[in-house]
Structure 1
Amino acid sequence: MSHPSIQPADASRMREQALDWFVRRRGEAFGAREEQAFQDWLAADPLHREAFERWGGEWQAFDAIPQDMRNLLQRNLAYDRAMEAASPAGTPAMPAMPSRRRVLVPAVAVAAVVAVAAGTGLLAWNHWEAQPVFVQAMATRRGQQLDVPLPDGSRLRLDTATRLEISYYRQRREVRLLEGQAAFSVQGDPARPFHVLAGPLRITVVGTRFFVRHTPDIAGSEGVHVAVEEGRVRVGQAARGAGTEADLLLSPGQQVSSNAQGALSAVSPVSSAGLAPWRDHRVRFDNQRLDRALAELARYGDPRLVIADPAVAALPITGVFDPRDMATFRRVLPASLPVRLKETEGGAAEVVLAR
């Protein structure tokens, strides 16, 4: 029996739909309602069944994929299911066709893997290499910190007001720090280096513990700061790619900073206490301008202190403070600088010169 000819775009869409259904039917949450929707899809066109059965044959090639890659794919699918379960109450459990937002990303990754195992050539291999096997976005609210375990045993700790994106590929691991600061404890894997992209910089490691800060919206702190606690870290401009001669190699107890354009400072020592005091809910100021100190405290909460006088803004402040305890900071401030607090409406105060 011959079938009516179909256009390439229709064939591609049909194959994609068949793969979506194939992946969903192998999941744990596929119930009677979903099965009925699947049977309706099969009955709508004889070519649907052919496309679905073709995927069944090709899926056997999945057994040729290394176990670690299959584990990462399964973790990614499990994360998607967890995000779906956390969606607001009342969201439909299953539409008539699988949701592309929830299914298509892992489905495309699986499709690329199957294509490689089936030996469809260099193009399929390159496509597979370019697909992330684990993707996650994380963010903390103002005043919040968060510990994040990763699939390979690495761990992140996010400070307040921090956003980052995690992407694991077959031959590399990548974290893009959009803003804020984070501590990285990286599980060693020479076959898959770990890259942190922060503003204009790329930080590359194999296994180590280090800290990165990127706060582009804070005056005076628009660049990137990197400090190493354990292991070695290579720091360079992201635009040049990894492993160039211009990169700097940091050892334990060393730090480096850049400006917003990526120009690196000289490498300098850093004490263990100065590596990342935010882990212990502390902020450290060393002759910092008062207005920039208040901007840093504002990352953790509203200090309810304002400055209108440029002379007050430029006053230097030194000390270690708990950003959660602004009452103590208010008491210490007039004793540390020639200022007083002028109360305003709503419990806020203006910092003015003492007369």
Structure 2
Amino acid sequence: MNPPAASTSALLSAFETHYTELIRYIARRTGNLEEARGLAHDTWLRIAERQGGAQDATPADPRAYLFTVSHNLAMNHLRRDQWMAGYLAECGQADAASPAQAPDVADTAMYRQALAVVEQALAGLAPRARDAYLACGLHGEKQADTAARLGVSLNTVERDIGQATRCIEDALHAWRHTPPAHARPKAAGRRRSLAALLGVFAVGATGTALWQHLQREARRFQTALSTLRGQRLQRSLPDGSELTLDAASRIEVDYDAAQRRVRLLDGAAFFAVRRDADRPFIVQARGVQVTVLGTRFGVEIDGGQGVLVQVESGRVRVDAWGRTQELGAGQGLRAHGGRTQLSDVARPAAWRQGEIAFDAVPLADALARVERYAPTPLRAAPGVAGLRISGKLRVADAGDWLASLPRVLPVRLKTLPDGGVEVAAR
């Protein structure tokens, strides 16, 4: 049963009062204190996102409502973990059941026939389309470089590659006597169609570069994720890794058979990476690249547009502006303006537990960080943007932190016509 509607302000006040008790309550159900802090933060977000305001009726028992919400979130979290554990167990059983030896004679004959069909389909393409497909797909040439070499636009190269891929699909469908992709429902996209075509073949040591490319395409996984202000997202990835996306953040995920690549475009993300020695996990953010095999770490684009890497366990390699550094558990690195700075981190990616820490950062950067959880825009006037501020706050106290700024800095708060708040000089 869903709890009845309640006053947002009353519930947030109850959250402040019972925060420690709430952590213990969730921890008893999950068996993990770190997960309990994260779920408590999710509880606060769920309440803060309510449409109602302080004028709504006050609940008879705000504490009971608060604990009901946290209980539901904890149960959903446990169900998701159980599902993932079952999924990974099934994957492990399937891998164990797969034969490790080379394909038998029948499989090898089928493989060679399929490869001949693909080569014939490529031979029937227009020379430019075939050149573009082989250059980008087999030899790893960037599409922009291919376009410049052929003297055509990037859109033309993308169109030629798409045409080549469709021709290969149609040829394999004809060989297998199955309906072509355009004859099936639209939900079965190119990646699923190609995966279905190639999934029936055993690939042995006689495989060619072309076949390896098609196999990589069949295992490809791509997605783009984003969050709104005050919202946080947790997602399980196909390899068993876990992704936690902070508020007001954007990320792109691109997996293939050779590597797992993620691009952080805005905000912050935390990764619990499942080890795979054959496929490194790579995170890119504003010219900084983080490479791991299996570990837990966070990457953040801060308010000053620097990149912050913090490691909770394991080791990562950070490549920034031609320099490579390795980080271990409890270490952090900030890369900005061509420079890198190492530091010790007591609680990596503390935003997962609803906390934000500042260490002599410009006021404009601090406001940009807090703004991810604020209901309205926060800005710093040019005259005070460079003032340095330090401290730690809970996301739940962001409003109180903003109201306290005039007591610690020579500033005043000004409400703007668009509903935002500007911090200006007194």
Query: Structure 1 residues 112 and 259, CA, compared in 2 at 3 Å: closer, same or farther?
Result: farther
Among 330, 342, 348, the residue aligned to 2:402: 330
Q: Which residue of 2 aligns with 1:279?
A: 352
2:230 paired residue number: 143
Among 364, 368, 380, which residue is 1:291 paired with?
364
Q: CA offsets per residue over residues 23-61 of structure 1, 9 Å max, x none?
A: xxxxxxxxxxxxxxxxxxxxxxxxxxxx264459xxxxx
The reply on whether 1:236 has 2:309 as its aligned counterpart is no
CA distance in structure 2 between the partners assigned to 1:198 and 1:350 by the alignment: 29
For 2:261, what is the secondary structure of its paired residue? strand
After TM superposition, give the deviation of residue 334 of structure 1 in Å. 1.8
State the SS of the aligned residue for 2:282: strand
Q: Which amino acid aligns with 1:224?
A: V
One of 249, 261, 279 as aligned partner of 1:192? 279
Aligned partner of 1:80 in structure 2 is none
Following the alignment from structure 2 to structure 1, what is the Cα–Cα distance between the partners of residues 240 and 182?
Answer: 38
Question: Would you say how many aligned residue pairs link Structure 1 and Structure 2?
Answer: 266
Contact 2:285 2:301 in 1 (8 A): yes
Counterpart of 2:101? none
CA contact 1:164–1:175 (8 Å) conserved in 2 = yes
Of 166, 187, 193, 1:107 maps to: 193
CA change 1:167–1:305 in 2 (3 A) is closer
For 2:5, the equivalent position in structure 1 comes to none
Q: Which amino acid in 1 is paired with 2:408?
A: S
CA drift at 1:163: 1.4
Q: Answer whether contact 1:305 1:348 (CA < 8 A) is retained.
A: yes
Q: Give the counterpart of 1:251 among 328, 338, 347.
A: 328
Instruction: Give the alignment partner of residue 295 of structure 2, picking from 197, 203, 208.
Output: 208
User: Which residue does the alignment assign to 1:97?
Assistant: 183
Instruction: Determine the structure 2 residue equivalent to 1:318.
Output: 390
Supply the RMSD in Å over aligned alpha carbons.
3.5
**Whole-angstrom CA distance in 1 between matches of 2:225 and 2:210:** 32
How many angstroms does 1:248 deviate by? Answer: 1.0
Residues 176-218 of structure 1, C-alpha deviations (whole Å, 9 max, x = no match): 2222111111112222221112221221111111111135xx4
Deviates more, 1:324-333 or 1:288-297: 324-333
Residues 295 and 11 of structure 1: is their aligned pair in 2 closer, same or farther, counting only changes over 3 Å? closer
Q: 1:16 to 1:323 in 2, by over 3 A?
A: same
Q: Which residue of 1 aligns with 2:308?
A: 225
- Alpha-carbon deviation of 1:301? 2.6
Distance in 2 (CA, whole Å) between partners of 1:201 and 1:12 is 32
Aligned residue number for residue 246 of structure 2: 159
Matched residues in 1 for 2:267 and 2:416: separation? 30
Q: CA deviation at 1:107?
A: 1.5
Q: Secondary structure at the match of 1:298?
A: helix
Give the secondary structure class of the aligned counterpart of 1:267. strand
How far does the alpha carbon of each residue in 1:251-292 deviate from its partner, in whole angstroms, 9 at most, with x for none?
A: 1111112225xx3514322222xx212112222222222222
How far the C-alpha of 1:305 sits from its partner, in A, is 4.7
Instruction: Structure 2: state its 5+ residue gaps.
Output: 1-120, 126-162
Cα–Cα, structure 1 residues 53 and 331, in superposed 2: closer, same or farther, change >3 Å?
closer
Could you tell me how far apart the structure 2 residues matched to 1:347 and 1:278 are? Answer: 26
Equivalents in 2 of 1:173, 1:11: separation in Å? 25
Equivalents in 1 of 2:365, 2:387: separation in Å? 10
> Counterpart of 1:86?
none
Q: Answer yes or no: is the 8 Å Cα contact 1:162–1:179 preserved in 2.
A: yes
The worse-fitting range, judged by mean Cα deviation, of 155-164 and 100-109 is 100-109
Taking structure 1 as reference, are residues 346 and 17 closer, same or farther at Cα in structure 2, changes over 3 Å only?
A: closer
Structure 1 Cα separation of the partners of residues 380 and 255 of structure 2 = 44
Q: Which has the higher helix share?
A: 2
> Which sections of structure 1, spanning at least 5 residues, go unmatched?
1-5, 23-50, 57-94, 241-245
- 2:342 pairs, out of 251, 267, 273, with 267
Say which SS state the counterpart of residue 177 (structure 1) adopts.
Answer: strand
Does 2:253 correspond to 1:177? no
Aligned to 2:131: none
> Following the alignment from structure 1 to structure 2, what is the Cα–Cα distance between the partners of residues 318 and 54?
67
Distance in 2 between the 1:307 and 1:14 partners? 56
Q: Secondary structure in 2 aligned to 1:141? A: coil
Q: Distance in 2 between matches of 1:347 and 1:105?
A: 45
